Amino acid sequence: MMKFLIGIVILAAGAAVGWFFLMVLPAGKQKQTVAMTRNVGTAWMYWLTDEVGDSSSGSNVNAELMTRPETQIIFDANKKLGGAYRKLDYDDMTKLLKPRYLQDVPRVDGWGNELEFYLSDNLLNSYVMLVRSPGSDGKFSGNTYTMGAFDSKNAAEDIVWADGYFVRWPEQSRAP
């Protein structure tokens, strides 16, 4: 009888550990990614406010960054979102935000995948900036996103923030 009880305790402990690694850890990485994306976005909005407010400074910074090759992220036209953005590398983001707007600019998401940063070539456009994470699988789902939450259990979904709002976010997280 004692061996049977010990066996049950071991099985229960194993199930608890398995549940923790399958459910809790991925959710923690997802929440971490949402938080860091929000932090970068908020800092970037402060930067944009300063740049648009001081047009002479903004035009110089913008001209330097916009020499990069263009990559487009097109949003779902049915949701009245859309815009073209130019991809910035991590060093460009660091130059923009550190240390005035953000102490440390994250390079990777909660899973260790590189974040991507995009900026419009015109700071007065309706669509100016975008930050995205590829999710747990490290692969972006494409260049078209429909705005809305996704099931937080699907950690492979992209997390996307643009122009002050989350475009794609896990259901359990609150998007601004």
User: Which residues lie below 8 Å from residue 156, measured CB to CB, with a gap of 6+?
Assistant: 135, 136, 137, 139
Phi and psi at 122, nearest 5°, equal -130, 110
Q: What pLDDT, on the 0 to 100 scale, is given for residue 111?
A: 98
Q: What pLDDT, on the 0 to 100 scale, is given for residue 45?
A: 94
Tens of pLDDT along the chain (176 residues)?
655 445 443 444 444 333 343 344 457 999 999 999 999 999 999 999 998 876 544 445 555 555 555 555 555 444 445 566 788 899 999 999 999 999 999 999 999 999 999 988 778 877 789 999 999 999 999 888 888 899 999 999 999 999 899 999 999 645 55
